[in-house]
Amino acid sequence: MATTSSMLLILIAILSSGFFSNTGYSFLIKEATISDIKLAFNQNPLSSRELIDLYQKEIIRH
């Protein structure tokens, strides 16, 4: 349960920032829904590691 809550908090933080683009699939992280992120995971243009990297870059930026 804690892992799910932590991941949700990370996703919310990421949704409020940045732009992700990779091999023709792109979306604004600010406007992405959890469904958009799940789709990106399922279609493989976004990995968990990349999601965490985006989150970490936002922390550094702010």
Q: What is the 3-state secondary structure (H, E, C) of the chain?
A: CHHHHHHHHHHHHHHCCCEEEECCEEEECCCCCHHHHHHHHHCCCCCHHHHHHHHHHHHHHC
**Number of other CB atoms surrounding residue 32 within 10 Å:** 20
* pTM of the model as a whole: 0.48
Residue 22 has what pLDDT?
47
Residue 28 has what pLDDT?
58
pLDDT in tens, 18-46: 555 544 455 556 677 888 888 888 888 88
Q: How many domains does the chain have?
A: 1
Residue 43 has what pLDDT?
87
The boundaries of the domain holding residue 35 are 2-61
pLDDT in tens, 2-19: 677 777 667 666 655 555
Residue 62 has what pLDDT?
73
Task: State the chain's maximal CA–CA distance in angstroms.
Answer: 34
